[in-house]
Amino acid sequence: MDKRLQLKDIIKQCEQKFGRGNSENWKHNDYLDFSRSIFEETKINISHNTLKRIFGKIATDKYYLPQQATFDALTEYCGFDVTEHSGENLTPEKPLFDYVKSKSKSKYRIGLIAIIILALATFSYLFFSDSSFNEANNGLKLTSSEGTLPKTCFFTVNVPNVSDSIFVDFGDKSDLVYLQPSQKTVSHTYFLPGMFDVAITDRIKKIVKSKVFISTNKKWYALGFQRQRFIPKNYYAYPAKKSSDSLFYITNSQLLKNGIDTIQPFFTRLCNYSAIKYKADSFIFETTFKKDYKKEGISCNGLVFKISGTDKSLRFNFVDPGCSSRITNIISEKTINGLSHNLSPFVMDFQKWNTIKLINNDKKLSLFANGALIYKTTYKVSLGELRGLFAEFERNGYFKKCSLKSLTGEELYVF
């Protein structure tokens, strides 16, 4: 996708994230607050005047684009995935060339065709000889690991001969790691369990992909963290157990003792990632929960659950009233977001006990909330074999149960 088209989508997602409506109605103080909000999340300072230029409040050149660092900060702030949106629209908004009118239209057409052919030939040469991997000679492979949770993984890499800088994306929202041209190995410590897509990337596209599985060894774990990119600085993990009243809850005092500021946004997660030789395209998932109640302020908090297979995953979000546009649900190869779909059935009253039940019957999904069917769909690409699941609160909450069973009732993951 052209960068200007990407920026339009990023602006829309930033508006949704900031939560003050259409940016056309924002005032000076809104841009000051927006600048502070971006800095709190990304540690990158974008002036309010720069934000006004980007959002059209201050006149700019027709083809104005912010600096790459500013572009990256906005991308990180709103969670926009550049790799998922690249290649969707190859038509640039700005013409590549301006031509002077010619007396002979036929000569003009011939010249234009010749230029296009030359450009395509040049692109093909550069792309295939410089920017892509020869799979026989290049790759990314997990060779060994150390520990359980946290777990350090060691990869061998064969870096392609490219003109641009390339990096490793370890798939856990940690910072990209720059690869030296002659580098042959790279390591990374995972603090979260799960299935992660690891890739060598030039920041625009992923060149080579691999997968890594971080297991909890048949145990349920409780996790608390400020933001994933702040891990391990603001991070808490321990084997999860129910209390005497058969509930699970991470108290605010536990979180505070482990460096997690409960005034700021934070997340708590219950998870079990253990390899099971069972196809993930047929199961019954069920969880019963309620959230803590935040007495002051207006916010959009919720619960998300994810079921991971070796190949794909399912991810569903539930939110407070008025916040359904923030939802993005992932169903194997499909992504359903609240900006282009009415996802109001995923709104919940979190102060009450709620039960979510998902039935997957050979890639046919039926999702129930408190006994009522709220969503049905199908998908095509298999999830592969089961690898685990998590249920996560934005802020905090209580679980009565969390389980995943086969369609015949066999217990696969039961808390």
Give the tens place of pLDDT for each residue, 201-223.
887 778 788 899 999 999 999 99
307 and 374 together in one domain:
yes
- What residue numbers bound the domain in which 390 lies? 221-414
- Tell me if 99 is assigned to some domain: no
163 and 72 together in one domain:
no
- Using the structure block, give the residue that is written with the tokens 């499909």: 334
56 and 167 together in one domain:
no
Least confident piece of the model among 76-90, 182-196, 222-236, 369-383: 76-90
pLDDT interval class at 91 (50, 70, 90): very low
Whole-angstrom distance, CA of residue 121 vs CA of residue 36: 47
Whole-angstrom distance, CA of residue 289 vs CA of residue 124: 54
Average pLDDT over residues 183-194: 94
Cβ atoms of 298 and 260 closer than 8 Å: no
12 and 61 together in one domain:
yes
Question: What does the mean pLDDT of the chain come to?
Answer: 83
Tens-digit pLDDT profile for residues 143-175: 999 998 899 999 999 876 666 778 899 999 898
Q: What angle do CA 196, 200, 206 make, to 5 degrees?
A: 85
User: In CATH, what number is assigned to the domain containing residue 151?
Assistant: 2.60.40
Whether pLDDT at 178 is above 80:
yes
Query: What does the pLDDT read at residue 120?
Result: 54
Q: Which of 85, 101, 128 is the last residue of a domain?
A: 85
Query: What does the pLDDT read at residue 294?
Result: 58
Q: Which of 214, 240, 267 is the last residue of a domain?
A: 214
Query: What does the pLDDT read at residue 312?
Result: 96
pLDDT interval class at 326 (50, 70, 90): confident
pTM over 0.85: no
Q: Which of 54, 85, 116 is the last residue of a domain?
A: 85
- Tell me if 117 is assigned to some domain: no
- Tell me if 134 is assigned to some domain: no
User: In CATH, what number is assigned to the domain containing residue 361?
Assistant: 2.60.120.200
Tens-digit pLDDT profile for residues 240-294: 988 888 899 998 899 999 989 988 889 999 999 999 899 999 999 999 999 876 5
pLDDT interval class at 12 (50, 70, 90): confident
409 and 265 together in one domain:
yes
Whole-angstrom distance, CA of residue 97 vs CA of residue 21: 38
Closest CA to 382 of 331, 329, 336: 331
Determine phi and psi for 253, rounding to 5 degrees: -65, -40
Burial of 46 (0-12, 13-18, 19+ CB in 10 A): buried
395 and 323 together in one domain:
yes
Q: Which residue has the higher pLDDT, 293 or 124?
A: 293
169 and 243 together in one domain:
no
